[in-house]
């Protein structure tokens, strides 16, 4: 299927967008965190209320026939209202001009960090069929722009090692009754275990479901892991430069990633550089991820540079930070993080590889909630342990049902993946929007929500 994409209106970050000159907190937004990433242009709003119907956090103010606006305290920055608006009245904050300036500065080493879903979306912005895979063309275009490349698939592999191991520790502590110094952390993080890759889900949890915070994985998202690694390991061993010269640009299918990158705790590369004496202790703090471009933003940057990725070679030799497993590739679809983590957990707990690596029952692209039971032949048990998992996407009624079930029946599942956007990251708020609205290509929130 082909279709002309719509140019979504964007705006540069206004003065004070990070609250840098204000108090430490404004409601639930901290100093440094971006606010107003998504906004409604009231002069274009027709009051149709489509945005309210797809908003997972009831952040839209205004009824049918009235001009709508967004409550920043409730907004998850997920952008579902943006891709669903039939009047193109919803706008997005953009850092394209800032990235152009980074690339123009010869003192910078600018690293592009593209997510898995980007490779199946960027070509649409240049007239290709919807879903066209353009992995090597994307990377070639980024290099032509002046970027170094660091595939998020690579850091997603690291995320799975971290999150998979964390889940294994919880199973050892809470299911098998094992104890020891390496399991002390698990004592404070009960089952069910929730994934932590989706920034809209994390903000949703922190704002509206704080009782679930102890259940969240403590692993950072692949983007944030990659940002820290690019400014520590890569700066020292690949780029061989002062880490302050490295600028990392996340390229995401997700508008909530703009908010995630601005969270003030994500300055660990700077903290490491100070602690190891690589930079002076009084050096200004810098973030792990300098800024984020959506897929649409990247297309705009390519256009400004006169680059069409669909015209570039379809093959390319992978480089140091572009090497990864196939496991990471499936992160972009609902169930992908779960499937990848289960493969790792199975290998660690059982001691051998899963015979059938494709765990079909946990794939939730066509259903807002799926659940499955995975038999684990654990050492020391007379019969296989039934690992119960749940995958939920489209953080609206489906998620609320799952969370209510966890509260009333905490033993029903051991592991839960949550993705805010219907079908997962492939339908994120930063993806190309077509002239019928990307959200209309399939149900916004699939109807199969039975749990």
Q: Which residues are catalytic?
A: 163, 166, 197, 217, 257, 260, 265, 425
Give the DSSP letter string of 370-410.
EEEEEEE--TT-SS-EEEEEEEEESTTHHHHHHHHHHHH-T
Distance, CA of 131 to CA of 298 (rounded, Å): 17
Distance, CA of 298 to CA of 251 (rounded, Å): 7
Q: Which residue, 418, 160, 139, 91, is CA-closest to 251?
A: 139
Count helices and strands in the chain by DSSP H and E runs: 14, 17
Q: How far is CA 207 from CA 73, 76, 78, 210, 320, in A?
A: 9, 9, 14, 6, 39
Distance, CA of 248 to CA of 279 (rounded, Å): 18
Distance, CA of 119 to CA of 398 (rounded, Å): 28
Q: Which residue, 349, 354, 344, is CA-closest to 175?
A: 349
Max CA distance (Å), the chain? 67
Contact 435/6 with Cβ under 8 angstroms?
yes
Distance, CA of 106 to CA of 353 (rounded, Å): 47
Contact 423/365 with Cβ under 8 angstroms?
yes
What backbone phi and psi angles, to 5 degrees, belong to 258?
A: -60, -40
Distance, CA of 58 to CA of 74 (rounded, Å): 7
Q: Which residue, 84, 29, 99, is CA-closest to 428?
A: 84
Q: Which residue, 307, 335, 334, 300, is CA-closest to 430?
A: 300
Instruction: Give me 392's structure tokens.
Output: 């939920």
Which one-letter DSSP state was computed for residue 234? I
């Amino acid at each position: 299927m082909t279709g002309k994409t719509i140019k979504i209106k964007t705006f540069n970050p206004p003065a004070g967008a990070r609250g840098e000159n204000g108090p430490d907190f404004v409601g639930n937004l901290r100093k440094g965190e971006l606010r107003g990433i998504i906004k409604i242009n009231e002069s274009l709003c027709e009051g149709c209320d489509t945005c309210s119907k797809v908003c997972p956090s009831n952040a839209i103010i205004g009824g049918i026939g009235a001009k709508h606006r967004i409550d920043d305290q409730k907004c998850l920055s997920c952008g579902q209202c943006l891709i669903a608006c039939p009047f193109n009245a919803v706008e997005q904050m953009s850092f394209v001009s800032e990235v152009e300036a980074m690339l123009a500065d010869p003192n910078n080493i600018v690293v592009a960090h593209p997510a898995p879903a980007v490779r199946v979306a960027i070509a649409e912005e240049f007239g290709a069929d919807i879903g066209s895979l353009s992995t090597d063309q994307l990377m070639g275009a980024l290099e032509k722009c002046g970027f170094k490349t660091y595939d998020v698939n690579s850091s997603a592999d690291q995320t799975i090692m971290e999150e998979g191991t964390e889940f294994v520790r919880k199973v050892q502590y809470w299911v098998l009754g094992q104890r020891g110094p390496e399991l002390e952390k698990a004592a404070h993080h009960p089952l069910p275990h929730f994934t932590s890759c989706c920034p809209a889900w994390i903000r949703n949890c922190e704002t509206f479901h704080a009782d679930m915070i102890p259940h969240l994985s403590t692993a950072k998202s692949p983007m944030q892991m990659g940002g820290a690694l690019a400014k520590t390991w890569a700066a020292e061993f690949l780029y061989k430069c002062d880490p302050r010269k490295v600028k990392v640009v996340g390229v995401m299918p997700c508008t909530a990633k703009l908010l995630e990158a601005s969270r003030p705790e994500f300055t660990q590369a700077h903290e490491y550089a100070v602690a190891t004496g690589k930079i002076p202790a009084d050096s200004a703090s810098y973030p792990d991820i300098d800024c984020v471009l959506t897929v649409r933003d990247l297309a705009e940057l390519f256009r400004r540079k006169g680059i069409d990725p669909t015209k570039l070679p379809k093959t390319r030799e992978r480089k140091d930070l572009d090497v990864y497993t196939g496991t990471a590739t499936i992160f972009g679809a609902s169930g992908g993080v779960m499937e990848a983590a289960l493969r790792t957990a199975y290998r660690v707990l059982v001691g051998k590889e899963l015979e059938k690596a494709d765990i079909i029952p946990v794939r939730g692209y066509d259903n807002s909630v799926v659940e499955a039971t995975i038999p684990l032949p654990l050492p020391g048990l007379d019969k296989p342990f039934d690992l119960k998992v749940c995958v939920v996407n489209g953080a609206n009624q489906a998620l609320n049902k799952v969370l209510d079930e966890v509260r009333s029946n905490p033993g029903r599942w051991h592991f839960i993946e949550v993705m805010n956007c219907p079908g997962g990251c492939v339908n994120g708020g930063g993806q190309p929007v077509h002239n019928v609205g990307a959200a209309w290509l399939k149900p916004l929130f699939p109807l199969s929500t039975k749990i």
